[in-house]
Chains A and B, each alone.
Chain A
Amino acid sequence: MNSNIKIRFRIVIYLLIMVLIVLVLRLYFLQIMSGQLYAEIASESITREKTVTAPRGNIYDRNGKLIVKSIPVTAVAVEPHIVSKNEDVMEALSECLDMPYEDIKEKVYQSNLSYIDRLILKIDIDAADMIYLKENSSDLPGVEVVDIYLREYDFGLLASHLLGYTGEIDKERLESEEYEEGYEGGDQIGWSGLEEAYESILKGEKGKIIYEVDPLERPVSIKEESAPICGNDLYLTINIDLQRAVEEILYQSILEVRQKKDSSTGQYYNVPGGAVVVLDPRSGQVLAMASYPTFDPGWFVGGISQTDWNYLNDPQNYDPLNNRAVMSFPPGSVFKIVTAYSGLVEEVITETSRFSCAGVWLGLGKDFPKYCWNKSGHGSLNIRGAFKNSCDIYFYQVGYGLFNKFNNMEELLQKYSRIFGFGKATGIDLPYEDGGLVPDREWKKDYFKDRPEYSIWFPGDTVNMAIGQGDLLVTPLQMAQAFSIIANHGIQFKPYLVKEIKDNQGEVIMENSMAQMQDLNLNQYYLDIIEDGLVQVVGPGGTAAYAFRNFPLDEIAVAGKTGTAEFVGKQDYAWFASYAPVGNPEYVIVAMLEEAGSGGSNVGPIIEKIYRYLFNLE
């Protein structure tokens, strides 16, 4: 062979060696340097995770009666990102589930667009469909038959505002931080009430199945499996029998009041809604909480129908979803307990101070006459008499006195309102609790910042607030809390609804104790004076005397206060707040009816009936 050829052979061999070295280096890079990374990606790309829904915890009343439970139903879930690419699967589903193809396509595409990982296509499928889907699962990638849990309500509409309702998680929540962990599309979550407030307690922990799939997304083998853990059970402070009685009384009373006419205008009372709160003042436990109009949480099970949803949102039905017990309204005269206490403590009045009521008071000047509800006047009254008759003129003057003390620099009436718990949420374990409003100089300045002429706090503002009018707003629950402070002689309890939480083994994992108790260090003597006044309200000649005319007050002494709050453009809001038995209070009851006229005559009977039920009187 000549040397030229030999050189060329050598070149070929060198080239071969070089290329082989390149191959080996590349392999070294792939397998040794990034082997770990590739192994992870590879393992990730073939493993899938599937969850097994955990049953939601049950809800019991204070006596262990089951109110809400979870029942398993079979549902069809799809993974939108897989199914949206496969029209055959959608067609098969349409045929099997008897749903229009277009509907399925629309739903799947919508969910895929919003990156929802799982979509529940149909709930409660029958056994034949379930078997069909399971048997053909290898031809239906991305389709899964799952067990989900739906709520069942043993007491129907009862306590629906407290319990709240559950429903499928929506896109916004799925993307929010709160629902980041442990949630996926199609999950049932609490949407309102206790279901929402105790979501993390009730939901339980999902089981997990980690499995491997082939390139067609067909499951091949299971790598890891963990069973779901049932949610914890709630034991409420509510007594479901009392709740039923209260709701029935509220409903009946509203129907009765709607038959009555406003004597001044001749119109029937509207009474769009009302609320009752029954509290145990010794602990802050809510024994019953009713709101009218109400709704059936069962409507939401498995997705609410359009008709039901329209009903709930129709303004003619006065927003049944709202829990009026934690919404704020003008309180009217019920608020006078705060005015009285402020006046006594700040020495604007004494136990024996007397003011004369002639039906009109010109303390703010002749151009600003302030009238008593009783235009003919009450004559000369002390504080007890002022309560008994709910004399506005008396309290105007107390308010005016409070305003004039320190030139209202300290906003005394607001200060005591806040001590009694107004102006901020009580912190009850319910979502969307209204804090109400205690108007003050700051608030007014801010509220009327576009109209400077209104932004000043006038003496008339304090005077109005003294009788629970003006911009003051309180919730029935706040009022109940304020009355339990009076009943307890200054001890405040935070109201609550969940007594204890038990895990699925029945072990108590959380007990709501009286740790939220607070001694407000109020003046006992002044509270006694107020209590005297409140007792006279239901006694002979008091504003609620008629409602309690047949009640055995000598056996069970009741303290109460009526309220009739004016509301611009609407009929009066009627209130009645009370507690009993005086001296050893067991119950605080507050009731409020919207647009129902006089608190004494229209709400008083509600309270009286509830006391009759509570004390087993006929």
Chain B
Amino acid sequence: MIRRKKTFSDFDNLRRKRSRIRFDFLLFFLAIAVASFGVLIIYSATRGTLPGGVSDPWFYLKKQAIGLAVGIVLCIVIQFINYRKIRKYWWLFFTAGICLLISVLFLGYEVYGSKGWIDLKFFTVQPSEFSKIFMIVALAAVMSKWRGEKIQRVTFKKVAISFAVTLSFVALVLLEPDYGTALIYFIIYLGILFLSGANFLYFLLILGLTAGGFFIAFNAGFIKQYQLDRILVFLNPSISTEGAGYNLYQSKLAIGSGGLLGNGLFLGKQTNLNYIPEHHTDFIFSVVGEELGFLGALIIILVLGVIIWRCFYIALNSSDSFAMLLGSGVGFMILSQAIINIGMTIGIMPIIGIPLPFLSSGGSNLISVFLGIGMVENIYIWREVRKDHEIAYQEFR
């Protein structure tokens, strides 16, 4: 087919296209829908058992709803900033993320042996959640096309800088210590590296370094055998019902007893009787499985899958490599957390305490996920402006 030359009428068409609101409603509303459902299921999980010694059955619902509102507002607010403008300030994001993580080491308080939370009187903040976003911005900036580069290419320098950035984040999170979140950081990095088009030799190098570091840490006694046992308990099918295996056993009992349609919202026996520890945070999916059954769980997985797909789809169709890596970073963040979290509740992933995006109780997680969604929407909104303009300009000229 012979390609037709573009005309003025085409330019009009483009103009009209540009005036249309560019916003991925599917992503945005799916995110709000699943997060709203999260508020409901958190209410179901906490109204009777009241974890943390609160007396108000609506406490966690309210908290989560506020988090959701803040997340949505932030998600919309950041649309007014063109993502390209923040690129050159990536070091600012890097510094901010590092500062947050350092501050938690000094100001934070401990929950389950991990110093991950800062108490700000009216609410608590989990800095490692926000730092994820900052790290994604920094990594995307480092790995994308530098000024002067004709095409985006992955040099040793880029890999070295990005690895250093990641390492500083991961190291600080490990100091809390929060192994689960550190693992997520690492997976996000590997994902960004992969989609930036890096040579596989770099992967070998990085994985080799990590494995070596882990080996040394284990032998030096930084990682204890019981921690390893706890993580690897899912590999042993004949789980002990005490200790490390208890959570998993109860979670599997709850999910399994849900059957096809579940016991009904608010009607989960194991949930209401508080058999699953942390069922409003890390084990929220057990509540979904018990109360809504296979169908409910399937829908949640599908929705999360579509959200992740939209992130990658928007990233792939963005107009520059920075946007592409930014969107993918968010995609990897949601993907890694969702899969590991759901996997651990059903016994096919190690039990590391990470929240399920959109669903687990916790404002920091919810807000940071919505910031991520906001960033993806942002690259979608600002996607074609320059491209269209350039095309139009070229055509016009």
CA distance A9 to B324 in the complex (A): 10
Report B115 CB to chain A, min CB distance, Å: 27
Give the one of A31, A34, A46 with max B CB within 10 A.
A31
Which residues on the A side are within 8 Å of B194 (C-beta)? 8, 12
Which residues on the A side are within 8 Å of B315 (C-beta)? 9
B window 170-198: CB within 8 A of A: 191, 194-195, 197
Which residues on the A side are within 8 Å of B294 (C-beta)? 27-28, 31-32, 35
CA distance A282 to B182 in the complex (A): 95
**A35 in contact with B312 (CB, 8 Å):** no
Which residues on the B side are within 8 Å of A24 (C-beta)? 298, 301
Known contacts: A20-B301, A23-B339, A24-B301. The answer to whether A214 contacts B274 by CB under 8 A is yes
Answer yes or no: B270 CB below 8 A from chain A CBs: yes
Select one of B269, B274, B289 contacting A43, CB under 8 A: B269
**A23 in contact with B255 (CB, 8 Å):** no
**A45 in contact with B301 (CB, 8 Å):** no
**B312 in contact with A12 (CB, 8 Å):** yes
Which residues on the A side are within 8 Å of B347 (C-beta)? 26
Which residues on the B side are within 8 Å of A131 (C-beta)? none
CA distance A28 to B289 in the complex (A): 11
CA distance A33 to B324 in the complex (A): 41
Report A537 CB to chain B, min CB distance, Å: 78
CA distance A8 to B275 in the complex (A): 43
CA distance A23 to B197 in the complex (A): 28
Answer yes or no: B305 CB below 8 A from chain A CBs: yes
**A31 in contact with B255 (CB, 8 Å):** yes
B295 (CB) vs chain A CBs: closest residue = A31
**B297 in contact with A5 (CB, 8 Å):** no
**B257 in contact with A39 (CB, 8 Å):** yes
- Chain B 20-50 near chain A by CB (<8 Å), digits 1 or 0: 0000000000000000000000000000000
Known contacts: A27-B346, A37-B256, A39-B256. The answer to whether A215 contacts B273 by CB under 8 A is yes
Which residues on the A side are within 8 Å of B348 (C-beta)? 22-23, 26
CA distance A43 to B302 in the complex (A): 29
Contact-residue bracket for chain B: 35 or more
Answer yes or no: B204 CB below 8 A from chain A CBs: no
Report A313 CB to chain B, min CB distance, Å: 45
Known contacts: A8-B194, A27-B297, A212-B269. The answer to whether A43 contacts B257 by CB under 8 A is yes
Which residues on the B side are within 8 Å of A38 (C-beta)? 252-253, 255-257
CA distance A43 to B256 in the complex (A): 11
Contact-residue bracket for chain A: 35 or more
- Chain A 1-29 near chain B by CB (<8 Å), digits 1 or 0: 11011101100110011011011101110
Answer yes or no: B391 CB below 8 A from chain A CBs: no
- Chain A 376-407 near chain B by CB (<8 Å), digits 1 or 0: 00000000000000000000000000000000
CA distance A39 to B324 in the complex (A): 46
**B273 in contact with A23 (CB, 8 Å):** no
Known contacts: A16-B305, A214-B274. The answer to whether A31 contacts B260 by CB under 8 A is yes
B window 296-353: CB within 8 A of A: 297-298, 301-302, 305, 308-309, 312, 315-316, 324, 328, 331, 335, 339, 342-343, 346-348
CA distance A37 to B257 in the complex (A): 8
**B260 in contact with A45 (CB, 8 Å):** no
Answer yes or no: A73 CB below 8 A from chain B CBs: no
In the assembled complex, 23 residue pairs joining A and B whose CB atoms fall closer than 8 Å, in A order, are A12-B194, A12-B331, A16-B305, A19-B339, A20-B301, A27-B298, A30-B255, A30-B256, A31-B256, A31-B258, A31-B259, A31-B260, A34-B256, A35-B256, A35-B257, A35-B259, A37-B256, A38-B252, A38-B257, A39-B257, A42-B253, A212-B273, A215-B274
Interface pairs A-B: 9 shortest CB-CB: A38-B256, A35-B259, A39-B257, A42-B257, A31-B294, A42-B253, A30-B256, A38-B257, A214-B273
Further 4 A-B residue pairs, CB within 8 A, beyond A2-B151, A12-B312, A12-B328: A26-B347, A27-B298, A34-B256, A220-B273
